[in-house]
Structure 1
Amino acid sequence: MKKLAKRLLLAMLAASMCMTGVACGTGTGEDDTAGETAAPETAAVETAAAETEEAEIAKTEDDGMKRFEITYFYGPHNEQLIDESFYEKIADAGFTSIPLEYGNTELNKKALPILKKYGLTCSALSDSRIDAVIGYDRTFSPDTPQEEVDRVISEVVADYAEYTDVIEGWLLQDEPCEARFEILGKVVSAFRRFSPGKLTMINLLPCWAGEVNFGTATYREYLDEFVSQVNPHYLSYDNYHFYEGGGYRAEDFFTNLELVRDKAKECGLDPMVIILLTKHHRYADLTFDQIEWEVNTAMTYGMKRISYFTFILEQYLLDDGWDNSCMNYMGEIYPHYYDVQEINRWLLPLGNELFDKESVGVYHLRKFDWDVLEAECEEYTPTGVLGEVKGDRFVIGLFDDGSFMITNKLWDELDGEYNTFEFVDIKDGLEYFDTTDGQWKDAVAEGFVTRNENGNLTREFHLSEGVLFRVK
């Protein structure tokens, strides 16, 4: 069996340890398995010490993400790990830090210098010894003493000592249930001590997965227990929005963003999200606008790292109907490669500009009650320097320096090519961040906004467009 399938089966086996009869909080009761959603790679924590009601989260001065990164889950593996042609394409597509998955120690050591050659770092390094100590090997369990965990992790870290300039983190687990948190906490503790300044990657379940997969009664409790027991370096999750046939998750996509963002702020952790890219199972073959929509909504919510699922496809995935990732294992390029490449050109400067800003509020602008406001989401009311605005179906993210990002929530061409946003209170001094050169520019002087018949500044947002503004 191929290694991704094996890993997903192991994840489902692990999830079976979490079976409970507790009622779900925000879950929808769907019968998706945890292994069907995305997976890890790296991201990061930006704060020092934070204390929650459950536990004190002890940080070191080396903790946290150092910069905005663009990554993916499921890339080259096995012998592909040492094929430079893949890394050339990865770098050309605008990725900055990538995981090394499903390779052995020997291949990892050969691959790391290739990453460095192409200006890439390793966001999350996978090693079978880490998998074993987490519990994919029956030798280990949550009761494994910390001393034994330390022995294994110190050995892993020492084995890669020559490559610390390339390794930014370690890959632990995708979508664990609460029963895994104890052993994950021991592993994270060991990495904090033996590999300071490097991050551990654990990707969490989406909020609809339900109490059977959470191992807790609600998603909030799942997040609380994860932070309390694991002391993670950052929060990562996935929740795929778009289905085949035009369907989408109208009930909890933004709810999930809200819950993860809120928990990250509460605990001083950086949040990241894995977004849908590859057509698989019931999930759609995305348009460019839909991919851009996923990215811009995430950035509006203050995500510090963006990951695409997946980069590559193996033959067994193609046989199962998966399609349109970035590339396949034979080196053939799919249309989504060029979509991602185009998006990443503006995403990196935008991410760099937003990286040191703290999200202080996210609001939804709507005209009609039938445009349902998801649970946990807040409707926009005149706030701060932005003041009164007019528009329909926008999401607005406010940051601690007074800047604000506005994203058009419309992605379907049937909704029209443009969506008008009107600034009622801002009369002058509006600037926008130009991602083509990374500079702030006068929105009026550059013709980026126009004045309507009332003399108010307006912007015609194209589908899924997001723009970062400020007032000088």
Structure 2
Amino acid sequence: MQSPHQILGPSRRSLLLGAGATALTAAATTAGTTTASAATASAVPADLAVPSPDTLPLTGGPDFPIGLFWPPHPYASTATRFAEIKNAGFDFVISGNYAGDGNIFQYQLGLARDAGLKMLISDDIQIRNMARWFSISDTTTDFLSVTPAEARELYTRARNAYGPFSSLAGFNFYDEPGAGWFPTLAKALAISRELAPQLLPYINLFPSDDPAYYRSFVDVVKPSLISFDRYPLLSEGREDANYFHNWAIVRDAALHGDIPSWVFIQTLAYHNHRVPTAAELLWQVNISLAYGAKGIQYFTYWTPEAARGEGFGPALITVDGERTSRYYAAKEINTTWLHQVGRELKPLVSETVQHVNETPLPNGTVGFTPTNLVSAVAGSPVVIGTFRARDTTSTDRWLLVANRSHSARSRAVLTLNEQTVGSVGVFHAGRQTYVPQRVAPVEVSLAPGAATLVKLTAK
């Protein structure tokens, strides 16, 4: 079955192609900038350095990025609506929902700037012409291709049109590319880094159980992050049996490339998928954090209308603009937990992910193995993500203990090695500090879908 992104990608193209080109040309003129001549544009330097994610919008800095897909449509793009997004704890918006006109993009960038939000622009005329609809090739006879010089001209026009807005975080180059498209995306990202190294080049990948797909993406494209979508909450109370397997593969690829991993979480029902509860929203977030996620994105924010197919149910905001219970649940998660714990986890490196007290183990998961700090874990099934500092000389560890269940409370007891653990702190999100505990068995009680962050300082 196709995921919602597979459906929405092509339909966005058909809706946007007719509107964007003329408007974007006018927008670039309005911005008071000039574009480089394609005739004199040079090829992309083969040895162009890849900027560190630490220097880019959203991936850089201390704050944990929380984004959304399918924002308010153009008629609902108002200061009030963008403030509503910000008040729910979101940091960035991926454009869409019939916003394909260059003037609309500029208008929304202004709204985002005033609300304190960032935007990733999905421009189907300039950016997608250099990265999705056409390949980039030096051979002018190649079918449906643009030259590197033409690609640079396309990117320059988009950069000049939207770059004056401080809310521009970067561009959405491709949603769910096949592996055959990776060489062109590598060229497109190299152009982006040459002409606007301060902007984030964003690509979201298919869900997949093939490690080679993600590893090839990292090796060939050399992205600034790895993002994917997989929606695990199926109808009739079922879970996607390969959700953890997919996460394990993405985690491995992100560690291989030393780049952040982002994920989309499911906010709505659609064909063969159920409506998430508040606890199931939280569960998706915390499982993703345990697997090392450095960014969370919600699919969707505004509800796609019935004409799009797939049987979409209400998301955070209904088709008619009403808030659902999931809007308030997401607001609670984002503002009281995710921003705070994410700020702690963002600079850390994922070391292990273990499913504890779970039999049988789900596909692709690893069971508990004692360490020099934690000798045993008793009680209910939990997922424990272990993290270390980037400084490899540090022996301190952080444990995100996530409830394996999104419907029942859990209780786990961590037995610590008192010979190696010097101190214990349990993260308190409200105080944004670690509350000291005795170096003794640590009892963790978790509501459905909840998690606790524990810091172990080694002797």
Report the TM-score range of the alignment, normalised by the length of the smaller protein. Answer: 0.7 to 0.9
From 164, 171, 177, the counterpart of 1:162: 164
Counterpart residue number, 2:101: 104
SS at 2:374 equivalent: coil
Following TM superposition, by how much is the alpha carbon of 1:160 offset from its aligned partner in structure 2, in angstroms?
1.7
d(CA) in 2 for partners of 1:464, 1:421: 17
With over 3 angstroms needed to count, the CA separation of the structure-2 counterparts of 1:126 and 1:437, relative to structure 1, is: farther
Matched, 1:91 2:80: no
- The percentage of aligned residue pairs carrying the same residue is 23
d(CA) in 1 for partners of 2:163, 2:104: 15
d(CA) in 2 for partners of 1:198, 1:280: 33
Following TM superposition, by how much is the alpha carbon of 1:428 offset from its aligned partner in structure 2, in angstroms?
7.6
Quick check: 2:135–2:184 contact (8 Å CA) kept in 1? Answer: no
Matched, 1:371 2:360: yes
With over 3 angstroms needed to count, the CA separation of the structure-2 counterparts of 1:321 and 1:220, relative to structure 1, is: closer
Following TM superposition, by how much is the alpha carbon of 1:143 offset from its aligned partner in structure 2, in angstroms?
4.3
Map 1:231-380 onto structure 2 (within 5 A). Answer: 231-250=222-241, 252-316=242-306, 321-345=311-335, 346-366=337-357, 370-375=359-364, 377-380=365-368
d(CA) in 2 for partners of 1:56, 1:303: 29
d(CA) in 2 for partners of 1:142, 1:223: 26
CA RMSD of aligned residues (A): 2.8
Q: Give the TM-score normalised by structure 2.
A: 0.80
d(CA) in 2 for partners of 1:301, 1:141: 41
With over 3 angstroms needed to count, the CA separation of the structure-2 counterparts of 1:166 and 1:127, relative to structure 1, is: farther
d(CA) in 2 for partners of 1:76, 1:461: 35
Counterpart residue number, 1:71: 67
Larger mean Cα displacement after TM superposition, 233-242 or 221-230: 221-230
Query: Which residue identity is paired with 2:131?
Result: I
Map 1:15-164 onto structure 2 (within 5 A). Answer: 58-61=49-52, 63-64=55-56, 65-67=59-61, 68-81=64-77, 83-101=78-96, 102-136=99-133, 143-163=145-165
d(CA) in 2 for partners of 1:207, 1:144: 29
d(CA) in 2 for partners of 1:264, 1:141: 33
With over 3 angstroms needed to count, the CA separation of the structure-2 counterparts of 1:362 and 1:141, relative to structure 1, is: farther
SS at 1:8 equivalent: helix
Quick check: 2:377–2:412 contact (8 Å CA) kept in 1? Answer: no
Following TM superposition, by how much is the alpha carbon of 1:181 offset from its aligned partner in structure 2, in angstroms?
1.6
Larger mean Cα displacement after TM superposition, 96-105 or 260-269: 96-105
Query: Which residue identity is paired with 1:301?
Result: Y
Counterpart residue number, 1:399: 387
d(CA) in 1 for partners of 2:84, 2:428: 26
What is the number of equivalent residue pairs in this alignment?
Answer: 400
With over 3 angstroms needed to count, the CA separation of the structure-2 counterparts of 1:423 and 1:432, relative to structure 1, is: same
SS at 2:276 equivalent: coil
Quick check: 2:13–2:124 contact (8 Å CA) kept in 1? Answer: no
Quick check: 1:63–1:233 contact (8 Å CA) kept in 2? Answer: no
Query: Which residue identity is paired with 2:191?
Result: A
With over 3 angstroms needed to count, the CA separation of the structure-2 counterparts of 1:359 and 1:459, relative to structure 1, is: same
- Whose relative contact order is higher, 1 or 2, with alpha carbons under 8 Å and at least 6 apart? 1
Following TM superposition, by how much is the alpha carbon of 1:60 offset from its aligned partner in structure 2, in angstroms?
2.6
Counterpart residue number, 1:16: none
SS at 1:168 equivalent: strand
Query: Which residue identity is paired with 1:114?
Result: L
Counterpart residue number, 2:436: 442
Quick check: 1:144–1:183 contact (8 Å CA) kept in 2? Answer: no
d(CA) in 2 for partners of 1:6, 1:399: 36
Following TM superposition, by how much is the alpha carbon of 1:123 offset from its aligned partner in structure 2, in angstroms?
3.7
Counterpart residue number, 1:44: none
With over 3 angstroms needed to count, the CA separation of the structure-2 counterparts of 1:311 and 1:429, relative to structure 1, is: same
d(CA) in 2 for partners of 1:186, 1:141: 17
With over 3 angstroms needed to count, the CA separation of the structure-2 counterparts of 1:385 and 1:56, relative to structure 1, is: farther
With over 3 angstroms needed to count, the CA separation of the structure-2 counterparts of 1:149 and 1:363, relative to structure 1, is: same
Quick check: 1:394–1:407 contact (8 Å CA) kept in 2? Answer: yes
With over 3 angstroms needed to count, the CA separation of the structure-2 counterparts of 1:332 and 1:133, relative to structure 1, is: same
Following TM superposition, by how much is the alpha carbon of 1:429 offset from its aligned partner in structure 2, in angstroms?
3.1
With over 3 angstroms needed to count, the CA separation of the structure-2 counterparts of 1:138 and 1:441, relative to structure 1, is: closer
Matched, 1:188 2:189: yes
Quick check: 1:76–1:312 contact (8 Å CA) kept in 2? Answer: yes
Matched, 1:469 2:457: no
Following TM superposition, by how much is the alpha carbon of 1:388 offset from its aligned partner in structure 2, in angstroms?
2.4
Q: Give the TM-score normalised by structure 1.
A: 0.78
Query: Which residue identity is paired with 2:76?
Result: Q
Query: Which residue identity is paired with 2:451?
Result: G
d(CA) in 2 for partners of 1:149, 1:385: 53
Query: Which residue identity is paired with 2:66?
Result: I
Quick check: 2:112–2:119 contact (8 Å CA) kept in 1? Answer: yes
From 417, 439, 444, the counterpart of 1:459: 444
Quick check: 1:125–1:167 contact (8 Å CA) kept in 2? Answer: no
Quick check: 1:103–1:126 contact (8 Å CA) kept in 2? Answer: yes
Following TM superposition, by how much is the alpha carbon of 1:89 offset from its aligned partner in structure 2, in angstroms?
1.2
With over 3 angstroms needed to count, the CA separation of the structure-2 counterparts of 1:79 and 1:289, relative to structure 1, is: same
SS at 1:162 equivalent: coil
Quick check: 2:305–2:312 contact (8 Å CA) kept in 1? Answer: no
In structure 2, runs of 5+ residues without a counterpart are 15-45, 137-141, 390-396
d(CA) in 1 for partners of 2:161, 2:180: 29
Following TM superposition, by how much is the alpha carbon of 1:6 offset from its aligned partner in structure 2, in angstroms?
6.4
1:298-326 Cα distance to aligned partner (Å, 9 max, x none)? 11111110001000014335886322311
Following TM superposition, by how much is the alpha carbon of 1:469 offset from its aligned partner in structure 2, in angstroms?
0.5
SS at 2:93 equivalent: strand
With over 3 angstroms needed to count, the CA separation of the structure-2 counterparts of 1:58 and 1:262, relative to structure 1, is: farther
